[in-house]
Structure 1
Amino acid sequence: MAGRLSRRSVVAISVAAGLAFVAVVAFVFSVLVTPGIGDPFTGRALYVYPDSTAAKAAATASGGDRAAFERIAQTPTAVWLTPEQHGLDDVQEFVYELVTAAHDARALPVLVVYGIPDRDCGSAGGGFSAGGLTDADYPLWLDRIADGVAGYPAVIILEPDSLASAPACGATDERVRQISGAIDVLSARDTTIYLDGGHSSWLSADDQAALLERAGVRRVRGFASNVANYNSTDDELAYDERVASIVGGSHFVIDTGRNGNGSTGDWCNPPGRALGAAPGAADGSGGHDADLWIKNPGESDGTCNGGPAAGQWWPEMARELAAG
């Protein structure tokens, strides 16, 4: 009869509508969950941690020092999680307080997980940041970090230098296993993870890409480069784009905290450096997600060129960076 649909037509329409709904759900799920889709930084303020070393220094400084230190303290920088400062007993509570404070401030926290066993070639003599957890305690520590995140959005820079240094440390297989396991734990929460991408004057793009592939970069958002280094953004961008193209179009972030004057070729407390571009989302082109201040400006690289121990506040460096 005219104006009435046959049973077959009704079924066909129902099936088509159902398939369309499934397609929409699948697309939304892919945007929210699939690594490499959905820039976490666009339209988001980055969290300013009120208890940073720069903030503490600014609180007791005066005159020009106070202004210089406040400039650093008021800029969003990453918060480093190390077992030396926050171990198995308190890291979960610390992370939870941090991510909830960031949530209340409507800002996105950037965390650096830095506790891998034999960190900084510890068993091979070790660098200025040698340390880390035992192989047995490391996954437990990661579990507690994940529980602390508790579903709140967070960006995680996972173990800077761990992959890039692995060949020289004679620990490639161990590093790949440890990083892959860390991805399993931390990706279960609402985290956006970037692996160690070295930097443009370290490994070749091919060698760095091979390490990232083995560790599981395609299971996360991407990689971070220039962490605690001074290479120019242009140099890093060219390098990162080469690495990204090799690993299937991965995304990346660049540490610009101290690269305002580029590099002298010295990675450890070189004089005459300057703060770089302010942290925030990139322009959206290619795989470049954001510029971040990952290594906190004003903290020493180690006992070199007159600096104190790695991670300690060094007023002379902070003044120079802010003035550069």
Structure 2
Amino acid sequence: MPFLRRSRPRALLLTVTAVVAVVAPLAGCGGGSGGSDGGRPAADAQTVNAYAERAGYADPDSRAARAAAEAKAQGNTDEQAVFDRLAQTPTGIWLTPEEYPPGEVGPFVTKIVDGADGAGQVPTFVVYGIPDRDCTGGFSGGGLPAAQYGDWVQEIADAASGGDGAVAVVEPDALASAIECDRRGQRVALIADAVDRLAQAGVTTYVDGGHSNWVDPSKLAPLLKEVGVEDVRGFATNVSNYQSDDDERKYGEKLSGLLGGAHYIIDSGRNGNGSTDVWCNPPGRAYGTDPTAAPAGDSPHLDAYAWVKPPGESDGECNGGPPAGQFWPARAMAMAASSGW
């Protein structure tokens, strides 16, 4: 399919806004800037595999980097070696309103973009702030009120547009869980607006597309179409999950076929040993395929393997883990041992 960005007419954006307003009045619904001020044009960001052009970026101040510095200070050379390896591996940079609220998220994104540009690399941001975001899992609750969400995403888009290119993965689990949570109308409206803002700013955009052991592609594809996935680069699979690369490639190609050939990325950070029936901090897991653009001859619509979820971080307070998103040294070391590091 052609991936030339087809901007939604302003009337449709207003319709989306009106739908959101049924749930909560939506303030500040100005559209995106229409293109990047300092980077590539908005259309090009959706037609090109960003991961094939530049290596991924590793935030030098990530939780893994801080854990490595702490291990070094304590003289723990084994932990330092593992945590350094994790810190030097490109991973997703998660943007939540709890850690980066309105007014602070933009400067943080600008700092990351500047660092990535200086290294000639591409950062991957994970936008994770939709209202009641973890409505099925219970370990990553929170998010912004609907009335604030669009402005927060716009702040991200504006900051990301100032560099040489950035990738955004939009709202892990939000569409796949919308069916179970009875959140379809609100989430479709908010994500459609977020996708448009990011794409208009020239950010290569992948909407979260669940994984192979969750919602059937035939049920998820209509939601992805509604939010405009066919107008951007594509979708992401297996984010924060453990399904094998093989299962995700099959799933991704099936979903792509229902979406006119949309491209996709696979989160391979923690799927080295595949999945079990436990989704939250399952024991015995291993690190997966290193982040890389999909090799020639791989699945035709696969753009890259990416570590979207930083693999040393907890899924939540389950199976002995700390709160979601915190670096968990013991599990990081156990996964390293399972991986033969």
TM bracket, shorter-chain basis: 0.7 to 0.9
Larger radius of gyration: 1
| 2:21 aligned residue | none
Q: Please give the TM-score of this superposition, normalised by the length of structure 1.
A: 0.87
Deviation at 1:142, TM superposition (A): 0.9
- 1:292 equivalenced with 2:294 (yes/no): no
SS in 1 for 2:189: helix
| 1:69 aligned residue | 83
Gaps of 5+ in 1: 1-30
Q: Is the 8 A contact 2:45 2:203 kept in 1?
A: no
**Over residues 31-61 of structure 1, what are the superposed CA-to-partner deviations in whole Å (9 max), with x where a residue is unaligned?**
9726753221113111111011111001011
In structure 2, what is the Cα distance between the partners aligned to 1:68 and 1:35?
A: 34
SS in 1 for 2:146: coil
| 1:53 aligned residue | 63
- Equivalent residues in 2 for 1:1-324 (5 A)? 33=43, 37-61=47-71, 62-121=76-135, 127-152=138-163, 153-284=165-296, 285=298, 286-324=300-338
Deviation at 1:265, TM superposition (A): 2.1
Equivalent residue pairs, number: 291
In structure 1, what is the Cα distance between the partners aligned to 2:277 and 2:266?
A: 18
Q: Is the 8 A contact 1:72 1:322 kept in 2?
A: no
**Over residues 56-101 of structure 1, what are the superposed CA-to-partner deviations in whole Å (9 max), with x where a residue is unaligned?**
0010112211111111111111100010111012111111111011
Paired residue type of 1:222: G
SS in 2 for 1:112: strand
Deviation at 1:151, TM superposition (A): 3.2
Paired residue type of 2:193: G
Deviation at 1:205, TM superposition (A): 1.4
Deviation >3 Å, runs of 4+:
none
**Over residues 249-300 of structure 1, what are the superposed CA-to-partner deviations in whole Å (9 max), with x where a residue is unaligned?**
1100000000011101211000000100100100244110000001111111
Q: Is the 8 A contact 1:68 1:319 kept in 2?
A: yes
SS in 2 for 1:111: strand
**Over residues 296-317 of structure 1, what are the superposed CA-to-partner deviations in whole Å (9 max), with x where a residue is unaligned?**
1111101111111111111111
In structure 2, what is the Cα distance between the partners aligned to 1:106 and 1:38?
A: 16
**Alignment root-mean-square deviation, CA:** 1.5
Paired residue type of 2:157: A
Paired residue type of 2:144: L
| 2:23 aligned residue | none
Q: Is the 8 A contact 2:208 2:237 kept in 1?
A: yes
In structure 2, what is the Cα distance between the partners aligned to 1:266 and 1:66?
A: 29
In structure 1, what is the Cα distance between the partners aligned to 2:230 and 2:45?
A: 7
Deviation at 1:213, TM superposition (A): 1.1
Paired residue type of 2:280: C
Aligned-residue sequence identity (percent) comes to 51
SS in 1 for 2:334: helix
Paired residue type of 2:320: G
Q: Please give the TM-score of this superposition, normalised by the length of structure 2.
A: 0.83
Paired residue type of 1:167: I
Shift in alpha-carbon separation, 1:101–1:76, aligned structure 2, 3 A: same
In structure 1, what is the Cα distance between the partners aligned to 2:78 and 2:101?
A: 36
In structure 2, what is the Cα distance between the partners aligned to 1:317 and 1:53?
A: 14
Shift in alpha-carbon separation, 1:264–1:208, aligned structure 2, 3 A: same
Shift in alpha-carbon separation, 1:304–1:226, aligned structure 2, 3 A: same
